[in-house]
Structures are given as structure tokens and as C-alpha cells.
Amino acid sequence: MKTGVSMTGTGGGMKGEPRLLPTGLADSAGAPGFARDDVKERVRDATDIVDLIGSYISLRRAGKALVGLCPWHEDSRPSFQVNPERQTFRCWVCNLGGDAFSFLMKMEKLEFREALQQLAERAGIELSRSRLGLPADDKAGLLKASAWAADRYADCLRRAPEAQAARDYLHSRGLTAATIERFQLGYAPAGWDWLLRQASPAGIPVDHLVRTGLAVERQERSGHYDRFRDRVMFPIRDPQARCVAFGGRVLPGSTDMAKYINSPETPLFSKSSMLYGLDSAREAMGRSGRAIVVEGYTDCLAARQAGCNEVVAVLGTALGERHAKLLRRYADTIIVVLDGDDAGRRRADEILDVLLAEPIDVRIVRLPAGVDPCEFVVERGAAAFEELLAAAGDPLEYRMDEALAKLAGRPGDDAALAAVDSILGALARISPRSPLSQTQRLLREDQITSRLSRRFGMSREALRARMLELRGRFDNAAGRSSDTHDRQIDPVPLDGGIRLQAWDREVLEILVGVPEGALLIVREIDPGQLQSSASRIVLEAARRLHAAGRAVNLQELLLELSDPALQSLLVAVDTRITNRTPTAVAERVQHLEDALRRRTAERESVAHIAHLKTSRLDPLSEAAILEQLVVQRRAVQGMTEPKDG
């Protein structure tokens, strides 16, 4: 148990040499098959939650706990509590709780794997080869090469005479010297080995330039050449602000047919899961709840320069599912800004189906024809751009308007049916976990089908039947149950929200706070006997822990369950136990055994009564069942058997 308390929050690591941990990390918390030499447990045990949280907020002692102002809501009186003994946190207002992993995930908007890696580095634990990526030394070398290249390109743009055309181009796009410096824009000269010649004297291996995509191996003879030549360079950073790749744009007048080229897929970079500018947009997205997506680097920079700090850009690919999942960490609404030309319309069709399938609010902005976001912001200013964003439209209305507009030049039933299918397909793809309530989704469906019915003379019943048919196909392809859209999901009961049934609460309290009784729960209670879905999930996790030979307690359950709502529930249950007058363990276990006997007797009694009502029995059999019923009813009421005499 961790006993040291740091109020400064500047520590957080274990002293001494880094320790090498085994391979095979799971993708997420609670994933089955995690090695028993458990990396998660070792990182958790090496992390003091007080030191971790103390590095973000000021904490002060309040009895056995520490308290501070919550970082996630406007807090004037300390409502955020840290329990150093249990290594948990909880905010009473936000109703959030968990362990060190869930705190870092919430604070930095990280996936579990990223939080695990950061806490391992913080604690001086070296993660060896794993599904987190490269060996630590190898990754550090590649990151060093990328950072070095970014410095060289930026210095060239700043000082070199041959970079004058690049400087002129950036200024012509309305970008100021401060913006160019802030985002470390650069220039790669036209020479075939400008970067390569500088690598060796700087201690950068050529192999690292190749593996980061900065250099390319020659095919016809030995040697290498620079990938980026005579291009304006835009460093691409990961969410931790480390340079991992580059985008290069040709200068006006170039004969190169490829206007933009990006770094290839590397151990550090995947264009389908990264966005330009995300590292510096995360905080603004968190404050406003919106993420604004544009297509070009200069579009993004012009908006940032104008003070719109939630803007990011895609990296030479359409906005995809992984991008949407990434943005969901930081924002509730995605606003997609599209050029007003035909290419912009085509890209809208590509991305709408992807975005509608995600549980996030999506809005579409279409610029006037012939104008890109950079030109719009520079020429018309930030206020006009904000007005455009405020008028962002519903994607379904956008799809309908586009489909109907295409019909103008394509008369005929086939074209009409294709348009209807396009619109119904978009409607069918809306995620069942959308921010819209079930009632709102039904109203939206009714509105769209009514409009289609009036326009095409089709019955609303036929249109809805076709939509449900398409939805079934999409759900089957996604591995979802087809009734997910039509039922309300059982909300996770949280303290201060939906109350747990008494028996569910008793079971969770035993699992969390009475290890001596946990085995009895796991052995004697089936998850189906619990009322709430949350309680059933927790019990199933406890059964997995027990089957794997692991202890069943709060810390292990927090590791096993990755859902923040379930973690908050467990911490709330634990807090309730702590705040109550303590009960002796033996007495608590005895109460549990008595309760189990009563519940078993109740179930048997119900079964016997049903048997009496539905079966024809001879007098002896009926008398035997009645006698059993008397015994069972006495057991339910906690009465002992009468003694003879």
C-alpha cells in the first residue's frame, strides 16, 4: 500500500533503474487473456495517485483523504476527493470516480493503452516490445530524427535565400510570421540529399530517416534520397505534441503533379488515425464541445490565426471512422467545412455515411463556390467564419438537398429510387448511441420520410419499411443486434442517479469491500439474479477475476472494467462503505449467508407454488410439497425449525 503523500505533485516515478516488462499488452482495460505477469498491475502498483493528481491540481489534507477543486467543472468549494489508501478519486458533483488510469484518461483524453504507456514512463518502468508499438529506445530514436528534421526545415525557411519563394507563398496565403513560427512551418530545398547530408554530422542514422519516411532508398543503385524536395513543410504532431510526420506542398509554378505529399505510414504515423493540429486544439475543443474539420493545412492555420482554435485538418484522406472516434474524445459536435466545388460535394458523400454511424452530433458547412476556408477567413474575417459555423446544417438535410438537386438532370424512376435509397441509407446509418434521444430519432425519421413521401408520392409506410431493411443490413455488417435502435439502453445506475436495488447494492458492497465474502458471491449468485445491467457486468467481471486466480476487490475490478461509468459506480459504492459505521467482517459474511439462504428458499417456494397450481398431485405428494413450503416460508422469514417437545 502506498503511504507517502506528495502535495507538490512533482514526483511520480520510482527511483532506480528502469525495469523491463514483458510483451503482449492488451488493447484495453479488462481485455480477456491479459498475461498474469500483469503489466497493468505493476504500473498501477508503481503509481501513487496522490502524486499523479497533485501534478494537475492542488490537494490538501482533510482527515484521511485529500481534497481539491475539480478540474472538470466550475468548482468553488473542494468537491474532488482522493483516497490514498484505496488509490481512488471521486468528484461528488460530476459523479465521476476511478483509479490512476481513469484519471489520466479523462484528464488527457487518452485511450487506455496511451495512459498505460504514460504512467509506465512516469514510474520509470520500461515497456518492452508490445502492441503499444516500438521498443522505447527505438521509438525515441525515430522521434528524435523527426524533431531534428522539423528544426532543419524551419531554420531553412527562416534564413535560407532559396526559401524566399516559400516565404512569399505563405505570406500570400495571409499567414503571419507569428503563425509560421508557432506551427514550425519549414521549407525543404530542391536538392536530392539536402537533409541526408546533414544527418550524419548531427548523429542521426540514415536508417532512422528511412523509417520515418524522410528518406527513400534508391531502386536502381545504392544509396538514398530526400523524400521532400522544393516543398513548404508542415510538421504533423501526435496528441502529445511530438513531431511524427510531415506534409509537403509544392510552390506555385511547380511542374510536380503531386500538389501535396505526406509522410508514408511509419511506426510513428498513420494518416487514418491522426489529424493536423489536434495537439494544440484539444483544450479548445474540450471548452467549446465542438471540433471543426477542414481539408488543408493552410485552411487550418488561417482559422487558428483568426482565433478559431478548435480547427483541425485531415491528412490527405477523407475523414474516416478512426478520425471520428478520435474527435469524440474531445468534442460532442463535429462541424465539417467543405469547399463549395464538385470535389467538396463528392467528399461530403464519402464522409457522411461514416460520421452518421458514430454517436456524435455532425454538422455540415458548405462554402461558396470557388472559395476555400483559408481564403474565406483571410478575406472576410473571423466573425464571418463564426457566422458560417453557426449556420452549419443537418447532414440528413444536406444529403436530401444534394440528392434532389441531382434529379434535375436525371428524370426517371431509376434516378428517383437511387435518390430515395441514398437518403434512407443515411437515415438508417445513424448510430443507436447517437446523442439524440430515442424520441428525437423517431421524430427525425418521421420528418424525413414525410418529406420524401410528398416529393416522390410514396407511402410513408413503404419508405419506413425500406429504411428498416437498410438498417438491418448495416447492423448485420457492424455486428449489432437489429433491435438496438428500438429499445432504451438500461442506464448505468450511479450514486445520485438511478438507485440500485437493495440486493444489487449488497452484492456490489461485498465485492468491493469484503474480500472474505466475494467468493461466496461468485460461487452462489448468477448474474441473472441481479436487477441492473451495471451490477450484472460487475459480477461477470468478478467471476472472470476469480476464474483467472486473481483477487476480487476494488482495485482489481477497476483494472478489469474500462467503462468510466462502472468505475464511478464502484468508487461510489466503496465511498458509501467507508462512510458507514464499520461492521465486523464475520458479521457481514454471516448476514450474506443468511440472505442467500432466504433468497434460495424464496425461489424454491415460488417454484413449489407454481407446481401446486399447474399439476394434478395425489394427496401424499401434495402434502409433502405443502410441508416443504412451510419449511421454506420459515426460512424466508429467518425463523428456525421448531424442536420436538
Which amino acid is residue 352, in one-letter code?
Answer: L
Q: Which cell numbers hold the place of 590?
A: 454471516
Contacts of 193 (CB under 8 A, 6+ apart): 224, 225, 226
Give me the CATH number covering residue 574: 1.10.860
DSSP state of 334: E
Residue 155 lies in a domain: yes
Alpha carbons within 13 A on the beta-carbon side of 262: 21
Task: Tell whether 240 and 322 lie within a shared domain.
Answer: no
DSSP state of 162: G
- Are the C-beta atoms of residues 171 and 142 closer than 8 Å to each other? no
CA–CA distances in Å: residue 188 to residues 91, 150, 181, 233: 50, 10, 16, 7
Helix or strand or coil: residue 258? coil
CB-based burial of residue 100 (10 Å sphere; 0-12 exposed, 13-18 middle, 19+ buried)? buried
Domain shared by 325 and 278, yes or no: yes
Answer for the pair 228, 188: CB distance below 8 angstroms, yes or no.
yes
Look at strands 243-250 and 260-262 and give their pairing: antiparallel
Q: Assess contact for 422 and 399: CB atoms under 8 A.
A: yes
The predicted structure's pLDDT at residue 196: 96
One domain, residues 309 and 382 = yes
Q: Is residue 140 domain-shared with residue 258, that is, in the same domain? A: yes
* Shared domain check, 602 and 543: no
Same domain, 29 and 128: yes
* SS3 per-residue string spanning 411-464: CCHHHHHHHHHHHHHHHHCCCCCCCCCHHHHHHHHHHHHHHHHHHHCCCHHHHH
Q: Which residue has the cell 452518421?
A: 356
Cα 9 to chain centroid, rounded: 26
Judge if pTM exceeds 0.75.
Answer: no
In a domain, 625, yes or no: yes
585-614 vs 515-524: helix axis angle to the nearest 10?
20
Last residue of a domain, one of 133, 153, 184: 133
**Alpha-carbon distance values, 492 to 81, 262, 495, 555, 559 (Å):** 22, 44, 10, 20, 18
Spatial separation of the C-alpha atoms in residues 325 and 425, rounded to whole Å: 21
Q: What is the pLDDT of residues 259-279, one digit of tens each?
A: 899 999 998 898 888 999 999
CA distances from 107 to 53, 72, 104, 189, 269 (A): 10, 8, 5, 41, 24
* Whether residues 603 and 628 fall in one domain: yes
What pLDDT, on a 0 to 100 scale, did the predictor assign at position 224? 94
The amino acid occupying position 78 is P
Domain stop point among 223, 244, 269: 269
For residue 405, give the 3-state DSSP assignment.
helix
Closest CA to 295 of 274, 269, 317: 317
Q: Distance (Å, rounded) from C-alpha 489 to C-alpha 498?
A: 13
CB atoms within 10 A of CB 407: 15
Residue 6 lies in a domain: no
Kindly report the CATH number assigned to the domain that includes residue 111.
Answer: 3.90.580.10
Same domain flag for 445 and 476: yes
Give the Cα separation of 268 and 143 in Å (integer): 8
Q: Tell the burial category of 286 from Cβ atoms under 10 Å away from its Cβ (0-12, 13-18, 19+).
A: middle
Domain end position, chosen among 423, 453, 486 = 486
**Domain contains 126:** yes
DSSP H helices in 260-394: 278-288, 297-305, 321-328, 342-356, 373-380, 382-390
Same domain, residue pair 249 and 359: no
Residue 642 lies in a domain: no
| pLDDT for the residue numbered 362 | 85
**Domain count of the fold of the chain:** 6
Element (H, E) at 233: strand 231-237
Task: Indicate whether 129 belongs to any domain.
Answer: yes
**Same structural domain for residues 599 and 539?**
no
CATH number at residue 241: 3.90.980.10
DSSP-derived pairing of the beta strands 243-250 and 290-294? unpaired
Q: Which domain holds residue 61?
A: 19-133
One domain, residues 153 and 248:
yes
Does any domain span residue 571? Answer: yes
Task: Lay out the sheet containing 60-62: strands in order across.
Answer: 60-62, 65-68, 80-83, 88-91, 96-98
pLDDT tens-digit map of 395-414: 777 777 777 777 766 656 67
Amino acid at 378: V
CB-based burial of residue 60 (10 Å sphere; 0-12 exposed, 13-18 middle, 19+ buried)?
exposed
What residue ranges of the chain have pLDDT lower than 70?
A: 1-38, 128-137, 341-345, 353, 357, 359, 408-413, 431-438, 440, 477-499, 579-617, 621-645
Domain co-membership, 144 together with 125: no
Angstrom distance (rounded) from CA 22 to CA 13: 19
Report the CATH number that the domain containing residue 335 is assigned in CATH: 3.40.1360.10
Is residue 13 situated within a structural domain? no
